[in-house]
Structure 1
């Protein structure tokens, strides 16, 4: 069997000569097999062979009755040490696959005891290939169509993949097999739709889809494991008109770029993105900002070039129904009193309705019976740095406000009229 990992062979005689080990492992392939000796016949001993880039032919160490001790305290971290009697060296292993390392240690134990290892697959002790020893590739940059791999797979060890200016019409399914991928840059392509399976990239932290042909962002992606890992998302220069309500489940988002789309509104529960620090949604079609926007705490905000409407608190949209319907009263009670609910207790469509309840300025909730208006908000209230909203030097934008009753709206009007006198 073979085990790729990092290895350092430390002689225990070094302190005797006043020397120390360099404390750094080298990429290597370890093999366990029988010594290729025609004279030895079937009784040939089992050896451990270590091949590195500097020594592809490999160094061999006999295993039978030659292991003094095993150190496996950190085997779950891919680390272990095998102490040999002759020569007096410690073979220190690190950065190994945990499952393969455990199997490897078990085989070494059997070989040391002289137990019959006929049932275990042994390797031929032949020099390793350079491709077996080289450090796994973690970064790959492709910036033209001619360089895009057609017949070869992407290295499974990739953590950062860029495939820009390749005229991709869809995401290559081979990319979705790269389970270690942390950063995926597919900017400057022709991608129209994102596959749901992109949510299977359990380590993905950065996704760049700048300058593509995207028209929507699927709800299924918002419900995937990306909501726990995604920290940076670039959807700028696409054709997106709206983002789903579930988009705000990306609770780990820090950077979000939505510039140069066709957005007519931002996600209803934008304020739930508690870790968001950098937001840009310049040159869209936003008439106003959602009510929850004022709950954000940003470091940088760019909303330049949106056709924001003039806020007019004195001209509200009245959707208040008096008396309240039974559904409205029940919905308000569930949210205001934090009554547990879910699809296992009430119909699923009611759960969806409760997910979009509005919050009145008094702090209480309302569902479909409310008064809506817009007020002006200085964007410095939510961001340390604000890019000017227009060429006139403004940093204010209209934000939607809701009122659950005529009383709440009247109290708001009194304060507003006093402030403008």
Structure 2
């Protein structure tokens, strides 16, 4: 039995034991010897519908990689630079003050501009309101709605003070959503249309496979190809369908680049495969290489690694080591090497059994994950739709799937 066949058996047991509602999987290696898909379980519990590679998932933060690719295309075309101040093109961002964490007071103006690099690496100072009691309170007072997820536009959802000066801290937040708005300001084209022209068309995909606005596609949300979210009941431990959970996503009126994409795993796998093999359909080779390098400054990188010591906010495995943020996701940089005694030479560097330096990954709040390891020559994606984030049962499956994909690549001689 191969590594992936063993994992399939584990998945079937997990579905039977109500650990996950269903899952759809994708993996590929650079040589083409490994091309893998698998689906089992349900995309909807009531009524029951089987999940497939073509089931449309709410990607949530899985959207960030896709929007980052779009912004890098503009950099390639000379319309933007990674280091230039973008606040002149984004008046909404320019208007936001900085909130002093120590005193809880607004400290306008910012000490400097905000760059595209800072938006794409979550070092702009922007933070999700649901991750900050201060921002949640400010948002509730401004909107009259206590729900920190409330809002159908970028301004309603995320136009609230920065929690740190740009470049000084890592904060998971709506930075990529603002980057999407930047694309619209620079090109004069809405982000959904840009996706169709510059992501879908080059990969031979159609709008039904990847979109920001599923309600605009006749029959998609109402049909059996659209996944519903299952939520674990904290009292009983059982999974229950909750049709209200994803409603805030479906009813947004603006394409939000950091969270708003709906796509099938088959379509998402096309993107991962393109970046893995460098086929040039989406980006130039030099640009793709830059994605898998760390782009945070010293202070922000230290902040990121401190936060990863308690990785409850991360969907996907965090097995120790040193990390940076690349252009599109979290980048594994290996392990620190420490000498036994001060002044002695450092010992041999520890190696991860699977991950190579430069491996990049991320996921979305409904427990979808993806990874690309260009050095090892392999990529994969795990698609499901359930809460809570980092549910114990599904988190173990994320780890096991990643391990199985690396083993499978070695079995066929591709890694």
TM-score, reference length from structure 1: 0.20
- Whose relative contact order is higher, 1 or 2, with alpha carbons under 8 Å and at least 6 apart? 2
Higher Cα Rg, which structure: 1
More strand by share: 1
TM-score, reference length from structure 2: 0.20
